[in-house]
Structure 1
Amino acid sequence: MCRNIRTLHNFEPPATKDEVHAAALQYVRKVSGSTHPSQANQEAFDRAVAEVAHATRHLLDALVTAAPPRDREVEAEKARARAAVRYGR
């Protein structure tokens, strides 16, 4: 599950709220071992996703780097090339 969490730092434009939420959701799914929590656990699950997303946003806002921002399209193309080599497409 966590393989879907992508690096969010140092991109132009910055990571969106949806990207941060998606990463938080994947993290909570991995830690809890559940992709769909029961009704009894839904509130705790949703609260954990919100808290992780909040902490992630604070982290991204606080990080500094001297490196130039990365381009999402260039990084996506690199990932496609790695996948082609890995999976033989």
Structure 2
Amino acid sequence: MCRNIKTLFNFEPPATEAEIEASALQFVRKLSGFTHPSKGNQAAFDRAVEEVTEVASRLLASLETQAPPRNRDVEAAKRKAISARRFGTAS
């Protein structure tokens, strides 16, 4: 599950709210151990995702760096190359 959480800071264009929420969802899934919570836990699960999304958005907005913004396409190509080395390539 955690492999789906991507670095969201210092990218051009900046992370979208949907990307932040997707990372928050993965984080809450990992912490809770639930991919799909029961009906009894659904409200608490959804509230946690909402709260983590809000905190993550505030964090990303408050961070500063002197480094130039990273390019999403370049970073995706790096991840793809690492994956190909690790798992081999499909022909």
With structure 2 as the length reference, what TM-score do the two structures score? Answer: 0.96
Q: Does 1:39 align with 2:39?
A: yes
Alignment of 1:72-87 (within 5 A): 72-87=72-87
The list of structure 1 runs, each at least 4 consecutive aligned residues, that deviate by more than 2 angstroms after superposition, is none
Give the SS at the match of 1:15.
coil
CA distance in 1, matches of 2:26, 2:49: 9
Partner of 2:50: 50
RMSD: 0.5
What is the TM-score normalised by the length of structure 1? 0.98
User: Tell me, which stretches of 5 or more residues in structure 1 are unaligned?
Assistant: none
| Counterpart in the other structure of 1:88 | 88
User: Equivalents in 2 of 1:47, 1:76: separation in Å?
Assistant: 31
What is the distance in 1 between the residues matched to 2:86 and 2:42?
Answer: 37
Structure 1 residue 43: deviation in Å?
0.4
Q: Which runs of 5+ in 2 are unaligned?
A: none
Shift of residue 88, structure 1, vs aligned partner: 1.6
More strand by share: 2
Quote the residue 2:12 is aligned against.
Answer: 12
**Residue in 1 aligned with 2:63?**
63
Identity of aligned residues (%): 62
Q: Which residue of 1 aligns with 2:23?
A: 23
Q: What one-letter code is carried by the residue in structure 2 that aligns with 1:58?
A: R
